[in-house]
Amino acid sequence: MATKIVMEALSPTMEEGRLVSWKKHEGDAVKTGETLAEVETDKAVMELVAREDGVLRKVLLAEGATVPVGALVAIVGGADEDLAGLLGGPAATAPPQGSGVRGQGARPAIPAAARPAEAAPAPARPESATPQPLTPDPQPLRVRSSPLARRLAAERGLDLRLVPGTGPAGRVIKRDVEAAGTAPARAAAPALPTRAPTALVPQAPAGGFRDVPLTTMRKTIARRLGESLGPVPHFFLTSEIEMERAWEARAHLAGRDEAYRVSFNDLIVKAVALALRQHPAVNASFLEDRIRYYGDVHVGVAVAVEDGLITPVIRHADRKGLLEIAAEAKGLAERARARKLVPDEYTGATFSVSNLGMYDIDDFTAVINPPEAGILAVGRIAQRPVIVDGAVVPRRTMRVTMSCDHRVVDGATGAKFLQTVKLMLENPLAMLL
């Protein structure tokens, strides 16, 4: 029996997906578990897999197109089954999050219960045989225009969509832009709201500009961080930490055996994890009507990837040794850069660390990744003048700034947490206590 393949929620925060490429084509036989297509979610490129044996009968989404979760993208069925009923009907309900997805790495087998495609029979609906638009058109309104008209419009800050085109097929040409520029009243096309054309597009900068459509990841970053710094009341605590002992300890370890090499960031993750264990008030989330304090400590580590960033999670970091943290952090960062992380690997952090020391940043503030209640922004380690016993001496120090969600963490709470972090990093032996 034919089943509908819908855009599945392949990550917890995914609201829409971009079909990167079809791995099967119309007419190809497919087996349960085989990859049908690659889908770019807000975080990674994932695989959409078949839940049933059959033939890929119909592909309804072009490569490169983006549709919301739940939209019908293909139909798998018998080789010569009549699909008229299915094509006309509504899309099947989106399956539960995460099901039907197989990341590049290890993934638990999909439980039989989570195979909703089989439970979505196609009702006999003879009246709906007429094909209907299945998905909204993802393309923005296209404006035909001559290159010169585009340049003139950009120079004048005119939105070409508001300029009626008088060329062939409505092409906007030079005279149209000139007419629009001298007679603003004409500039409002009937189908669009009447407002000053300049209000839609900022004045073009003299040096020219380049508009780049948002990638799915960039959209998610924008939305998520907008949800943070606006609604989440941030405050910031900065502390300078002396890193001489940490420096020595790390150098000593690496000197003994290359296998003992850990990064400063691994040390910081470990210290933060232990401090979170000691200060459960910081290992928490604000949930509108309550605060949730977590029993486990999971530390997110921000990783820059091409055109964005992602925060893979080192779970139970408080219970892991430095070498274990180092190995895990390295592996996750590599997989993040290859965009191969699966949702389990970048969700569920209870606190995050963002380190820009390698970019020569002295100190900075980071934006909290909700629902976490804090994030530690780490600057570079540098020799700075420090006063010891009345004398100025050079010391390796590092500045950290903690962003706190004031709904959960108060100034003193955050400060005490930061004191613990400082104590551990200045005296690495304290991590053994």
Partner 1 sequence: MAVLTYRDALNQALREEMARDRNVFLMGEEVGVYQGAYKVSRGLLEEFGPMRVVDTPITELGFAGVGVGAAMAGLRPVIEFMTWNFALLALDQIVNSAAKMLYMSGGQVPMPIVFRGPGGAALMLAAQHSQSFEAWYAHVPGLKVVTPATPADAKGLLKSAIRDDNPVVFIEGEMLYNTKGEVPEGEHLIPLGVADIKRPGRDVTIVAHAKMVAVALKAAEELAADGIEAEVVDPRTIRPLDLPAILASVRKTNRCVIVEEGWPFAGIGAAVVDGIQREAFDDLDAPVLRVTGADVPMPYNRQLEKLAKPDPAKVVAAVKRVLYVG
List of residues contacting partner 1 (CB under 8 A)? 146-151, 166-168, 173-175
The one-character DSSP state at 397 is: E
What 3 state SS string does 132-178 have? CCCCCCCCCCCCCECHHHHHHHHHHCCCHHHCCCCCHHHCECHHHHH
- Give the residue with the Cβ less far from partner 1, 170 or 255: 170
**Can you tell me whether residue 133 is helix, strand or coil?**
coil
- Please indicate whether residue 25 is annotated as part of the active site: no
User: 25, 234, 252, 406: which is the annotated catalytic residue?
Assistant: 406
Cα distance between residue 56 and residue 27, in whole Å:
5
How is 226-259 classified by DSSP, letter by letter? HHHHTTS-EEEEEEEEE-HHHHHHHHHHHHH-GG
Long-range contacts of 106-113 (CB under 8 A, 24+ apart): 107/342
Strands 35-40 and 16-22: antiparallel
Residue 4's DSSP bridge partners are 75
Cα distance between residue 155 and residue 262, in whole Å:
54
**Can you tell me whether residue 353 is helix, strand or coil?**
strand
Q: How far is the CB of 26 from partner 1 (least distance, A)?
A: 36
**Main-chain dihedrals φ then ψ at residue 86, nearest 5 degrees:** -65, -40
- Give the residue with the Cβ less far from partner 1, 151 or 315: 151
- Total residues found in the chain within this entry: 433
**Main-chain dihedrals φ then ψ at residue 371, nearest 5 degrees:** -90, 15
Tokens of 387: 């006063």
Cα dihedral 210, 215, 219, 222 sign: negative
For 13-83, list the strands marked E by DSSP.
16-22, 29-30, 35-40, 45-49, 54-59, 66-68, 72-77
Closest CA to 14 of 41, 44, 46, 45: 41
Cα distance between residue 153 and residue 159, in whole Å:
7
Q: How far is the CB of 171 from partner 1 (least distance, A)?
A: 8
Residue 353's DSSP bridge partners are 301, 376
The catalytic residue positions are 406
